[in-house]
Amino acid sequence: MILVWGSVEDSPVARVIDELSAKAATFVHIDDNDLEHMSFNMTLGSPPEGWIEMKGRRMNISELKAIFLRPGNPLTARSARNAHVMLQLASVLPGVVLNRPAADLSNHSKAYQLDLISKSGFAIPPTLVTSDPVVAKKFLHRHNRLIYKSLSGVRSIIAIIDISRQDRLEEVRTGPVQLQKWIEGIDVRVHIVGEKWFACEIQSGAADYRYASVDGKAAELSNLEISTEVGRKIVRLAHYLNLPLAGVDLRRTPDDRWVCFEVNPSPGFPYYENATGQNIAGAIADYLIQDPL
């Protein structure tokens, strides 16, 4: 049995459900409303034991072979408590979990994750975390153009700082803030599902293509063939972070270097599927269906 947890209003969840249905997989879908009515009796050992009952069906935990989770924000205390229990179960369940809750946490600190990316052998942009305006200005003068982005997982629009705006760096006193060298090149998003990769090139004049329309600019996405060497390197990176499902953000520089910015553990892949025709949801469904033993 495969468990899909998330709202059908969330397009990645809807896509995975469609693919599992098309492949006649045995699965059950729950959302935050279902958590309100969930009952369970289990021990969270290694392995976990017991049962959970959802949508009128009682299931032995040993029946659960895989979980795909994109939980939302529970609205009641009861559903929040039950969501917490489900996250605990997702942490210890043997088999396939996309993704383990612990692995998600690396993305909650961008600088920390960037350090891990560097340790895995990928080039990263020079990055400074500081609350010292003098140090920040020296960093700007060394690199001429910087990106400011938030340190935490709280989504934010990035800002560009160049020499003409260096006075803004006085504001870092109440920091610490994250400053990164602007890297010239083409944005590439690579989705990893197990050993497979799906690469997409994004052409945009905006500093952050996700918000290109805010800047009055367009973002054009297209399928990209990458070499096996680069593909495998990105797969190794995702596995190093224990993320069999990941959306990896890179930039390919004019001198053909690959610089990695971030590994997203809950990628919003439909945006890229729509533009390229890539079937990432199909790959996810296949990964969930596989027999882990």
Binding positions for another protein, rule: CB under 8 A = 38-46, 49-50, 82, 85, 88, 91-92, 102-103, 105-106, 108-112, 114-115, 118-119, 124, 126-133, 135, 150-154, 172-176
Q: How far is the CB of 169 from another protein (least distance, A)?
A: 11
Q: How far is the CB of 281 from another protein (least distance, A)?
A: 27
Return the number of the residue (45 or 216) whose C-beta is nearest another protein: 45
In terms of Cα–Cα distance, which of 220, 221, 219, 237 is closest to 229?
A: 237
Return the number of the residue (118 or 222) whose C-beta is nearest another protein: 118
Q: How far is the CB of 138 from another protein (least distance, A)?
A: 10
Return the number of the residue (265 or 282) whose C-beta is nearest another protein: 265
For the chain, state the CA radius of gyration. Answer: 21
Q: How far is the CB of 73 from another protein (least distance, A)?
A: 15
Q: How far is the CB of 135 from another protein (least distance, A)?
A: 5
Cα separation, 172 vs 153, in Å, equals: 19
Q: Give yes or no for a contact between 158 and 178, defined as CB atoms under 8 angstroms apart.
A: no
Q: How far is the CB of 185 from another protein (least distance, A)?
A: 19
Q: How far is the CB of 244 from another protein (least distance, A)?
A: 16
Q: What does the H/E/C string look like for 118-150? A: HHCCCECCCEEEECCHHHHHHHHHHHCEEEEEC
Q: Give yes or no for a contact between 98 and 112, defined as CB atoms under 8 angstroms apart.
A: no
Return the number of the residue (2 or 260) whose C-beta is nearest another protein: 260
Return the number of the residue (42 or 230) whose C-beta is nearest another protein: 42
Q: How far is the CB of 45 from another protein (least distance, A)?
A: 5
Return the number of the residue (175 or 185) whose C-beta is nearest another protein: 175
